[in-house]
Amino acid sequence: MLDIVSIGECMIEFFAEEPIAEAECFTKAFAGDALNIIAAAQRMGSKTGFITRVGDDPFAPYLLKGWRDLGIDTSHCKVVPGFNGIYFISLLPGGEREFTYYRKGSAPSTMEPSDLDEAYIASARILLTTGITQAISPSARATALRAAQIARAHGVKVAYDPNLRLKLWSLEEARQALDEILPYVNIAMPGGPEESQLLLGVEEPRQVIEYFWRAGVDLVALKWGMVGSWIGERESGSIELVPPLQGVKARDTTGAGDAFNGAFLHGLCAGMSPVEAARLGMIAAALKVRGRGAVASLPSREEVYAIYREQMTTHR
C-alpha cells in the first residue's frame, strides 16, 4: 500500500549562476510541484507513487531513473511520443531569480482521464494534485478532477495545493478549477497572503481557512511565508500558528512550500496530529532552503526528525 500518490508534471531544470544571456554553463536537474512534494515525503520515509506522462525524448531515461533513485514508484509514469518540458533558472544581480519556461504541449500536458488506474489510486492513503497540474492543459485539468473523484469514491483522502501560477492561465480559469475540485478535497495546502488575496479575495489567515472549511475541506495547512503555517481543523474549529525554524540562512527558496507539503503529508500518514505534522513540515522547509534546487537540497529524515524531537522536548 502506498502512502501518497501524486498526479502532475515534472520538468527538466537548467540552472545558471548568472543571467541567461551571460551564462555559459548550466546545471541539469528536475523539478515540478507534484513531484517535489512526494520526493520530500519519500525522503521522510513515506511510500509514494507518481502518475504522469513522460515524453520519449533523450531526457526520459534521466527522469525515470532519477525518480526511481528517490524511491518513488514509477509504474504509472506512461512514456509517450513527445517531449518533456524544460525550464531555466538564472540568478540576477541582487539575488533575484529569473525563470524561463518551455513547456507548452509537453508530454505531461497531454494526460487524459483514461490514463488513470482506479485500483492504483484506491491503493493509496492520500491522492495529491495541484493547481499547476490543472493549469497545464484542459485534459490535465480533467484528469486531476477525475483522479480526485476516484479517490473520494474509495475513501482515499485528497490533498490539494492551489499553487497559483498566472503565467499558465487566467485568474478566472484558476478560480473555476478550484471550485470544481474543492468538493473532493480533504486536505488543502494553500499559500498566502498574495495567492489567497488573488484567488479567494481574502487576506486574513482565518478568512482563508474558513473559505476552505465552508467548501467542506476538513484540514487546512496555510503557508504564510516567514510567519509560519496556520493549521485549521474544521471539526474542532481550531486554528493554530506553527512558527518557522529560526537561524537558517537561505540560499534558494525554490520548492520550500513543496518541502513543507511533503513532510506535512508524511507526518499525517505517520499518525501525527496536524499541528505536529506541520512542525515537521516547517523544519523540512527551513532546512531545504540551505541548498540549491527543489529536490537535490531536500534534507534527510534523520536531520528533520532530530530537530523535531528537540522541539517537542522543549514544548513539553
What CATH number is associated with residue 73? Answer: 3.40.1190.20
Has residue 91 been placed in a domain? no
User: What is residue 241's predicted lDDT score, i.e. its pLDDT?
Assistant: 97
Give CA–CA dist 183/173, Å, rounded.
17
User: What is residue 94's predicted lDDT score, i.e. its pLDDT?
Assistant: 64
Low-confidence ranges of the chain (pLDDT < 50): none
Q: Is the pTM of this model over 0.75?
A: yes
CA 90 to each of CA 15, 69, 93, 100, 187: distance values in angstroms, whole numbers, following the listed order: 6, 26, 10, 9, 34
pLDDT digits (tens, 9 = 90+) for 226-248: 899 999 999 999 999 999 988 78
pLDDT digits (tens, 9 = 90+) for 80-130: 999 999 999 887 776 577 889 999 999 999 999 999 999 999 999 999 999
User: What is residue 3's predicted lDDT score, i.e. its pLDDT?
Assistant: 98
Has residue 38 been placed in a domain? yes
Greatest Cα pair distance, the chain, in angstroms, is 56
Query: Can 33 be counted among the known catalytic residues?
Result: no
Question: In this structure, what C-alpha cell is assigned to residue 156?
Answer: 482515499
Strands 97-102 and 73-80 turn out to be unpaired
pLDDT digits (tens, 9 = 90+) for 27-44: 999 999 999 999 999 999
Give CA–CA dist 32/246, Å, rounded.
27
State which residues form the domain around 167: 2-10+31-85+106-315
Has residue 221 been placed in a domain? yes
Has residue 22 been placed in a domain? no
User: What is residue 127's predicted lDDT score, i.e. its pLDDT?
Assistant: 98
Has residue 90 been placed in a domain? no
Domain count, the chain: 1
Has residue 309 been placed in a domain? yes
Q: How far apart are the first and last CA of the chain?
A: 34
User: What is residue 315's predicted lDDT score, i.e. its pLDDT?
Assistant: 61
Has residue 125 been placed in a domain? yes
Q: Which amino acid is at 281?
A: G
Has residue 99 been placed in a domain? no
User: What is residue 95's predicted lDDT score, i.e. its pLDDT?
Assistant: 59
User: What is residue 285's predicted lDDT score, i.e. its pLDDT?
Assistant: 95
